[in-house]
A and B are shown apart, each in its own frame.
Chain A
Amino acid sequence: MSQHNDPSASNPNRPVTPDLRVLIADDVDVLRTVLTELLNATEGIEVCAHAADGDEAVDLALATRPDAILMDLKMPRKDGITAAKEILSAWPEAKIIINSAFADKALIQSALDAGVIGYQTKDRRPTELIDLLLQLRQG
């Protein structure tokens, strides 16, 4: 049931791992809001910024240097893959996860070729996304 308990919480001797700082980039307002609330409510994750288009995503990513970036693909002004490439070229250690409604292999491949570390489709259960993020948190 509680899959998201922070293992460090039960052991007072272990050092506390800081929350994963996440940047959410998605052009749909309602989705961005709800996802932010969800991630904030999740133990171990904290949303530090959100962007509504590709340009904003690049700017905020490079400015706030989050631990993980959740990037939508279809956004105005600049799409997700282009933004990802830009971020990675300026900051190669960036950890970008594509969170998209589209699931075709070509897109996935081009995203992975661009250097993203994960591709999540929106029709999967949210727990998968959260697990992925928590794994990042562990290292």
Chain B
Amino acid sequence: MTAATDAAFDMRPTHSISPAEPGRQARRTPSESRTTQLIAACVAVSVIGSGLYYSSEPPIAGRVWETTIGSLLILMMIGIVAFQGGRRAPWLAIWAGLSSAFVGGLLAAHPALSPINTESPSIVDVLRLMNYPLGALGVLILMFRADRRVGWRASLESALLIGSGAAVIWTTFLQPLAAESDLSTAAGRVAVAYPLADLLLLAVLVVLVMHLDNRPGPLLLVVAALTGNLAADVAFGAQSLRGEATPGTFIDIGWLLCFAAFAAAPSWPASPQTRLVADDGRLGVVRLSLLIAGAILVPAIAVAQTLSGRSPDSYLLVSGLALSALALGRLAVFNHDLDRGRAHATQLASDLADNNAKLRQSRLEQRQLLDRVHTLIEQERTKIATEIHDRPLQNLVSVGYQLQHLTVLLDRGDTDAATDIAERASTQLAAQLGELRDLMTDIRPPVLDASGLTGALADRAAAVEADHPELSVIVRGDCGRLDTDLETALYRITNEALANVIRHSQATTATLTLCRNEDHVTLTCADDGIGFDPQSVDGFVSQGHFGIAGIRERIELLAGAVTIASAPSGTTLVLTAPIDRSANANRTATTQ
């Protein structure tokens, strides 16, 4: 019988029964309703068919049987066409085997249809026996397509099972019968052929079942039915050899079950968990037992024969040797797989160690970065404290002294001098307020929060021009409002760039250009100064300035980038940053 392999084995590449076809797009997954309909149809046909078959008389029963089986075959073909897109070849092999058996049955029932003699053994038996190799072929193709390694190993085990099974059945049941009757007749041979063919397919199926990690319904049903058939065929063969063959109707129900299960199999709904499991270093109790049994069973029979006084058949001894060799071969393959598994595990362990080392490294870098950030913060604070100490504090103390002076003058009644001092103190206070406001702006410009980067840069440009009349700073373009973080960082970076222009470039014009597109903002700072060597790094922080390396690091934290081009005719800094930083979160991580 054909392998009622679960129709929609897992499509995943790892050992799935269904072949992975690279070129194909996503397969049409069977819709629930259609698969249910087909399976329901198979069940209905089987139930009605068997009911009618057993309740009607032979001529009609035969027609009922043929109709039922024919309908099941049609349903199976529908299922194959509809749901087994790239796997048709093996399924068609299975279907061809079943159809061959069906045609054989038709010819047996209607001898007039065939030009050849249909008396057993005949073309009928050939057609019926063709079912088994075709079915086994279909199953093997499914397994090999899913995983070649599993395919070969499963084939070894199947061969072992078939060999030892055949030897056992022959020795225990059929040989004694054959000794009594004439096996040279074709009829005798055919009587033996059926059980052996059953055994072939059954062994292949059992091995398949052993390799699946999830046993679907149809498959188990077919295995059960086939086992029943094997028993029945052995019995039938025994009867044939004794010349007592009668068509046994109880065998037919087994056939019907097989046909029905196979018909439904291509339409069985996808079972995502079902897949082939390769040897993972464990042979398992069942498989190991089968291997051992296969290896020692036939020699054991030979020993039993010897002990009972008979000399063991030579072919039995030879087959015993072959089977033992096969079993040992399978164990050798298993050992090889074990080694590969170990090597793989070692590789995994080494990869893990590498990853751990990388993780430690990146944690270390992260700590260093945090340290640097804290250092920066402290340096900023120191800078601010120093600025406050140097100017505002001293100036206010001076105003205090002037007020005291004022008191002394008023005591003396020198109002003119007092007025003079008062005015000077007032002027000084006003100047100091201006400086404090500048300091505050330096710390965080209110215009940045109020009107965004464009406005803040315009203000800054004006301030720089006021302090450095030889430099002209032009602001062009607009970037609208951005995230506070982004605006602040770009503002600081631009200030740093401008500071560099002022300090080093001897430029007369600096142009700041803002530009915004869908997901990026670009800021260009170009000057016409003497240029510098972009390779030389200023060092991260000095006197509160953070240099080119600092600009780069700061913009990269925003998932952005900076390019610097410098020539004796001028320098151009181009900063780009994504407007939405979260969209580029991965880039930040990999920029390290």
Q: A2-B411, A30-B428 are in contact. Are A41 and B397 (CB under 8 A)?
A: no
Q: Is the CB of A126 within 8 A of B394?
A: no
Binary interface profile of A, 42-75, with partner B (CB < 8 Å = 1, else 0)?
Answer: 1000000000000000000000000000000010
Residue of A nearest to B399 (CB): A34
Q: Which of A37, A122, A125 contacts B405 (CB 8 A)?
A: A37
Indicate whether A90 reaches chain B with its CB closer than 8 angstroms: no
**Least CB distance, A114 to chain B, in whole angstroms:** 21
Q: Which residues of B contact A74 (CB under 8 A)?
A: 389
B398-411: CB near A (< 8 Å → 1, else 0) gives 10111111001101
Task: Decide if A135 is an interface residue (CB 8 Å cutoff).
Answer: no
The answer, yes or no, to whether A1 is at the interface (CB within 8 Å) is: yes
Nearest to B386 among chain A residues (CB) is: A74
Query: A108 an interface residue at 8 Å Cβ cutoff?
Result: no
The smallest beta-carbon distance between B292 and chain A, in angstroms, is: 87
Q: In the complex, what's the smallest C-beta–C-beta distance from A23 to chain B, in angstroms?
A: 17
Q: Is B393 an interface residue (CB 8 A)?
A: yes
> How many residues of B are in contact with the other chain, CB < 8 A?
18
By a CB distance below 8 angstroms, the chain B residues around A34 are 398, 401-402, 405
In the complex, what's the smallest C-beta–C-beta distance from A124 to chain B, in angstroms? Answer: 9
Contact of B273 with A by CB under 8 A: no
Q: How many A-B residue pairs have CB under 8 A?
A: 51
Which residues from chain A contact B398 at a C-beta distance below 8 Å?
Answer: 28, 30-31, 34-35
Residues B401 and A35 in contact, CB atoms below 8 Å apart: yes
At the interface, yes or no: A38 with Cβ under 8 Å from chain B? yes
Which residues of chain B are within 8 angstroms of A4 by Cβ–Cβ distance?
A: 408
Residue B122, interface by CB 8 Å? no
A127 at the interface (CB under 8 A from B): yes
Query: B409–A122 contact, CB under 8 A?
Result: no
Q: Tell me the bound Cα distance from A31 to B395 in angstroms.
A: 7
Once the chains bind, are B409 and A41 in contact (CB under 8 Å)?
Answer: yes
A31 touching B401 in the complex, CB below 8 Å, given contacts A101-B394, A122-B393: yes
Which among A2, A31, A37, A41 is the interface contact of B394 at CB below 8 angstroms?
A31
Q: Which of A16-41 contact B (CB under 8 A)?
A: 28, 30-31, 34-35, 37-38, 41
| A38 CA / B408 CA spacing, docked (Å) | 8
Contact status B404-A127, CB under 8 Å: yes
Looking at the assembled complex, report how far the CB atom of A36 sits from the nearest CB atom of chain B, in whole angstroms.
Answer: 9
A123: B residues at CB distance < 8 A: 397
Question: Residue B408 contacts which of A28, A42, A125 (CB distance < 8 angstroms)?
Answer: A42
In this complex, the member of B393, B397, B409 whose beta carbon has the largest number of chain A beta carbons within 10 angstroms is B397
Shortest distance between the CB of A58 and any CB in chain B (Å): 22
**Minimal beta-carbon separation of A101 from chain B (angstroms):** 5
* A130 within 8 A of partner (CB): yes
Residues on B with beta carbons closer than 8 Å to the beta carbon of A31:
394-395, 397-398, 401
The distance from the CB of A55 to the nearest CB of chain B, in whole angstroms, is: 20
By size class, the interface of chain A is 20 to 34
A28 touches B400 (CB 8 A): no
Q: Residues of B contacting A35 with CB < 8 Å?
A: 398, 401
Q: How far is the CB of B219 from chain A (nearest CB, A)?
A: 87
- How far, in Å, is B390 (CB) from chain A's closest CB? 8
Given contacts A30-B394, A101-B394, is CB(A126)–CB(B401) below 8 Å? yes
CA distance A35 to B404 in the complex (A): 10
Q: A30-B395, A101-B394 are in contact. Are A126 and B404 (CB under 8 A)?
A: yes
For B393, the closest partner residue in chain A by CB is A101
Give the residue of B395, B404, B411 whose beta carbon is less than 8 angstroms from that of A130: B404
CB distance from B550 to the nearest CB of A (A): 28
The minimal Cβ–Cβ distance linking A80 to chain B, given in whole angstroms, is 14
Q: In whole angstroms, how far apart are the Cα atoms of A31 and B408 in the complex?
A: 18
Min Cβ gap B71→A in Å is 102
**Which residues 356-405 in B have Cβ within 8 Å of A in the complex?**
389-390, 393-395, 397-398, 400-405
A residues 104-120 in Cβ contact with B at 8 Å: none
Across the interface, name the chain A residue whose C-beta is closest to B425: A34
**B400 and A126 form a contact (CB under 8 A):** yes
Q: A62 CA to B111 CA in the complex, in Å?
A: 143
Residue of A nearest to B414 (CB): A41
**B residues near A30, Cβ cutoff 8 Å:** 394-395, 398, 428
Whether B401 contacts A38 by the Cβ 8 Å rule is yes
Q: List the A side residues contacting B404 at CB < 8 Å.
A: 38, 125-127, 130
A2-B411, A30-B428, A125-B400 known; A41+B395 contact, CB < 8 A? no
Shortest Cβ distance from B411 into A: residue: A2
The 0/1 profile, CB within 8 Å of A marked 1, for residues 2-46 of chain B is 000000000000000000000000000000000000000000000
CA of A1 to CA of B410, assembled, Å? 11
CA distance A125 to B396 in the complex (A): 12
Rounded to whole angstroms, the CA-CA distance of A28 and B435 in the bound complex is: 15
Given the complex of chains A and B, what is the CA–CA distance between A127 and B404 in angstroms?
7
- Please give, as numbers and ranges, the residues of chain B lying within 8 Å of A28 by CB-CB distance: 390, 394, 398
- Nearest residue, chain A, Cβ from B410: A1
Question: In the assembled complex, which residues on chain A have CB atoms less than 8 Å from the CB atom of B408?
Answer: 4, 38, 41-42
B405 contact set on A, CB distance < 8 A: 34, 37-38, 41
* Interface contact B397-A122, CB-CB below 8 Å: yes
Let me know if B394 and A1 touch, CB within 8 A: no
- A68–B411 Cα distance when bound, in Å, is 25
6 tightest A-B contacts by CB?
A: A126-B404, A38-B405, A28-B394, A34-B398, A122-B397, A31-B398
21 A-B pairs in the complex with CB atoms less than 8 angstroms apart: A1-B411, A2-B411, A4-B408, A28-B390, A30-B394, A30-B428, A31-B395, A31-B397, A31-B398, A37-B405, A38-B401, A38-B405, A41-B405, A41-B408, A41-B409, A74-B389, A101-B394, A122-B393, A126-B401, A126-B403, A130-B404
Apart from A30-B395, A34-B398, list 6 A-B contacts with CB within 8 A.
A28-B390, A31-B395, A38-B404, A42-B408, A122-B393, A126-B400
